[in-house]
Amino acid sequence: MAGEMAQATKYPLSMRVLHWLRAVIILGLIWSGWYMTSLPEDTPMATFDLFYPNHKQFGVLVWLLALVHLAIRWSNRATLPHEPEALKPWEKTLSHAVHRLIMLLTVLIPLLGYSMSASFTQSDGVPFFFFGELPEILPKNDNAFEIFQALHKYSAYALLTLVALHAAGAIRHRILDKGGETDALPRML
């Protein structure tokens, strides 16, 4: 059709870089979350001082990167690679659901983490690298903290499950259809 923009075969470089950067940071955050919350009470304070502030600031970074990703995706929506026609209907539905849920959780989980930290009565704040601490706009309430803590934790488990499903789908199509239309990996490299 005249006037229609050509579809790309790869995602824009900015989206590819953000995809892999967020993947590394998110996996690191999930690992560090598991590790730091399993530390015994007699762990030296320096260890806690290393993990908790860094977990918080990298969580804020993931949130910001997710917003940037969404903005770039929106601005390039007309030229992004098309969905492979060879996908079965259930694969298209699953792919859409997994991608949307991953994006939703990469925005939601950091907000839950912020809410958890901001509502905790003994919080030491939410740092963000060289910019200082974020303002804590929620009232201190340990009951709210426990709710945010549970939501943050179980949402992270859900995100990890979705990331595993996303990777499994990419690997499956890479193995079964290398170089074919459903081999999505080259679009993200």
CA of residue 172 relative to chain centroid, distance = 22
* DSSP H helical ranges for the chain: 13-37, 45-75, 89-119, 142-176
Q: What is the mean pLDDT of each run of 10 residues along the chain (189 residues)?
A: 56 92 96 95 93 96 96 90 85 93 97 96 91 92 97 97 94 83 79
Contact (Cβ atoms closer than 8 angstroms) between residue 168 and residue 125 = no
Q: What's at 22, amino acid-wise?
A: R
* DSSP character at residue 134: E
pLDDT at 178: 79
pTM above 0.75, yes or no: yes
Report the C-alpha gap between 144 and 116 in whole angstroms: 8
Q: Under 8 Å CB-to-CB from 135, ≥6 apart: which residues?
A: none
Q: What angle, 0 to 180 degrees and rounded to 10, lies between the N-to-C axes of helices 142-176 and 13-37?
A: 130
pLDDT in tens, 68-83: 999 999 998 888 888 8
Among left, alpha and beta (phi > 0; psi -120 to 50; other), residue 128 is beta
Question: Residue 84 class from Cβ within 10 Å (0-12 exposed, 13-18 middle, 19+ buried)?
Answer: middle
pLDDT at 7: 59
pLDDT in tens, 122-161: 988 899 999 999 998 999 999 999 999 999 999 999 999 9
